[in-house]
Amino acid sequence: MLVFTLKRLLASIPTLFAVLTVIFVLVRIVPGDPALAVLGDSASEEVIQEFRKSIGIDKPLWEQYLVFMGDVLQGNLGLSMATGKTVVEEVSNVLPYTLELTVASIIIGVVFGIPLGIFSAIYRNHFFDYLARMVSLLGLSFPAFYISILFMIYLSVEWDWFPVFSEYIPWSDPLTRLYHLALPALSLGVIMIGYVARTSRSSMLEVLGEDYIRTAKSKGLPRNMVVFKHGFRNALIPILTLTGLYLGLLMGNSVLTEIVFNRPGLGGLIVGSLESRDYTMLQGLIVTYAFFIVLANLITDISYGLVDPRVKNND
Amino acid sequence: MTEPVFCVKDLSISFKLNGKWCQATQNVNFDLMENETLCIVGESGCGKSITAMSCLGLLPKKKNIHIEGQVLYKGVNLLDLTEKELNDYRGDDLSMIFQEPMTSLNPVLTVGEQITESLLVHKSMTKAQARETGIELLNKVKIPEAEKRFSQYPHQFSGGMRQRVMIAIALACKPTVLFADEPTTALDVTIQAQVLHLLKELRRETKMSMVMITHDMGVVASVADKVLVMYGGQVIENSSCKDLFEAPNHPYTKALLNAIPRPDRHIDHLTSIPGQVPTLAGMPSGCRFSTRCELVSDQCAMTPDVNTVAGQQSHHYRCWNV
Ligand SMILES: Nc1ncnc2c1ncn2[C@@H]1O[C@H](COP(=O)(O)OP(=O)(O)OP(=O)(O)O)[C@@H](O)[C@H]1O
Ligand SMILES: [Mg+2]
């Protein structure tokens, strides 16, 4: 298992390189001169040149590329054009908020979505199945910000159960922080429940029709053993893959949720840097997202090895 | 006369295809005495597997599948039992070797786990006892390095070895009746012979009865006491093995026996039966073989009666024109 994990780890390095290269190119083909954006139209030629030099975009592209890669590998994402602080500092101030939001909603999605989907498959076309499918359809069809707003109107404003706006809470006060996390995490979690439940249901239905389930039945095993020991573990394999994929979706949706709840996080930074055309900040944010998506894929890959013996042994 | 251990009476299985009920097997009957081996032969799709599966209550209980008739094990009609009641018999008294060795084993559980499961459930063995028995079983089905193989996963086994693992699983609780659905088809000839030998040996040791499904008339000749020949879901001939080979009655049986290549018959091409098996939805009424039969006549539009061969009490066939 250790060897397998190391191999996967090594395999994700080229992916990360490729992603960084794409980001480098993307940022540079976006139209608009960052210098003009920051300094305004009226800036003199001299000032503009000075500025271009200060952020290194006067050099040839290949040199910019090497510098960019070198910096990123050393954990240096440059200075924010808007605030003058380092991007790393700005990002790491709010990153924990976004991470706890995504992790919490994944947990909500998995903890409720998997059982919902699995039982929905077992009781296919019974009342429970229809109910569960309705619930997951709700999660699937409402956009994140809409659910956020609904929750906010009812749970915060009307009934006053949760705070309307979140703010910076130090970790030294974990309960308050959790309290502020609850509503945003729930509104993202509902979406995850929808996706995870749908995947779990279809994957379990497929597995229950497999030949080895018939074999298990022919052994006279009790129904629970057939369904959970023989069915569930196999159904988990596609559930894991798709949950890994949904992480990307979740990060996108978290931006909107953070904005609706006025929650500190990457979402606020993105909007801010778009408004001020803070080009280094934007680049740094994309790198951060890319890093976490590659990380999520890595975790998905490794968890495969835990569930599916074929993956571990073939490598 | 002693009672049969296992008995199938007028078993008809229908599937609803595109809103229309199609009868996949029609009034299948057979008895199985203790220690007796019955072979079911017939072309692909004639309903052999579903017959065996319904004997263990393994056909899904869905609205588009309808089963009529009786499946009696020691006098109990298995078709009347709930899944829970069936579980007392399945894997213990009755077990089945499936036709598809590649997909019939669970990919995420070790082979050992899959063999010992039924021992733990039915024989209340401890883990250690079950392990010992499991390794013994692997040795019995001639898996080399059984101890090591015990904790490996199915994907580490070849097709033939998986089939032998399936056999070990089915034999684990020493069943009274074993249903073997083409257990040797995936195996090469030497292993095939070993497996047949093994099954015969077990039969001697444990007084097991066996229903073996096969395409291979050679296998029939070597293991069967009785033979059931099926065509398009109907039993068209049944008899003792000896009588069938010596004096087949039904034109289909004759054609089937003629289709076996034999070195003593110098023919340039293999004999085959002209035409194709009708599809489930397009079964002719009456004799289902009539579309391909040399002896076909007007009468064949009606289902033929069961005739008994003179002087051979247990030799029956369904044909108007013999
Ligand atoms: N679940 C099902 N739904 C609809 N039709 C089915 C189903 N299972 C089997 N059949 C049909 O029943 C018929 C008999 O199938 P069966 O598997 O018993 O054939 P078989 O005699 O075992 O053939 P083979 O030698 O190829 O294994 C086939 O025509 C098949 O298409
Ligand atoms: Mg079959």
pLDDT, tens digit (0-9, with 9 covering 90-100), for A199-249: 999 999 999 999 999 999 999 999 999 999 999 999 998 898 888 888 877
For residue B201, CA distances in Å to A151, B21, B136, B168, B191 come to 71, 43, 15, 14, 15
Pairwise CB contact (< 8 Å): A218 & B58: yes
Residue ranges and CATH numbers for the domains of chain B are 6-93+177-282 (3.40.50.300), 102-172 (no CATH)
The mean pLDDT of chain B is: 88
Tell how strand B226-231 and strand B177-181 pair up: unpaired
- Judged by average pLDDT, the poorest of A82-96, B77-91, B250-264 is B250-264
Contact indicator for B15, B8 with CB cutoff of 8 Å: no
The SS3 assignment for B75 reads: coil
What pLDDT, on a 0 to 100 scale, did the predictor assign at position B133?
94
| Minimum CA–CA partner of B98 in chain A | A215
Interval A11-26: pLDDT, tens = 888 888 888 888 888 8
- Given this model, what pLDDT does residue B270 score? 57
pLDDT of residue B72: 93
Q: What distances in angstroms separate CA B133 from CA B112, B139, B146, B177, one per listed residue?
A: 10, 10, 11, 20
Report the amino acid identity of residue B209. Answer: S
A94-265 is classed in which CATH architecture?
Answer: Orthogonal Bundle (1.10)
- Position B264 scores a pLDDT of 65
How do residues A278-288 score in pLDDT, each as one tens digit?
778 888 888 88
Buried (b) or exposed (e) across B75-100, using 16+ Cβ within 10 A?
eeebbebeeeebbebbbbbbbbbbbb
ipTM for the predicted complex? 0.89
Confirm whether pTM is higher than 0.90. no
Please give the structure tokens belonging to residue B231: 């065509």
- Residue A82: its pLDDT value, please? 73
pLDDT in tens, A143-168: 777 777 777 777 777 777 777 666 66
On the question of pLDDT at B65 being above 50, the answer is: yes
**Residue B234 phi, psi dihedral angles, 5° rounding:** -110, 145
Asked if B83's CB is within 8 angstroms of A223's CB, the reply is yes
Query: pLDDT digit string (tens) for A253-287?
Result: 888 888 888 888 888 888 888 887 777 888 888 88
Contact (CB<8Å) A220/B87: yes
B59 CA from centroid of ligand 2 (Å): 13
The Cα-based distances of B108 to A62, A222, B153, B154 in angstroms read 49, 19, 7, 8
- Phi/psi at A163 (5° precision): -70, 145
C-alpha B25 – ligand 1 centre gap (Å): 10
Among residues B185, B319, B184, B230, the alpha carbon closest in space to that of B45 is found at: B230
Q: What is the pLDDT of residue A176?
A: 72
Ligand 1 binding site (Cβ under 6 Å of any ligand atom): B 15, 24, 44-50, 99, 280
Q: Under a CB-based contact definition with an 8 Å cutoff, are residues A287 and A72 in contact?
A: yes
Secondary structure element (H or E) that encloses residue A258, with its range: helix A233-260
pLDDT band (50, 70, 90) for residue A315: very low
Distance, CA of B180 to CA of B193 (rounded, Å) = 15
Does residue B66 surpass a pLDDT of 90? yes
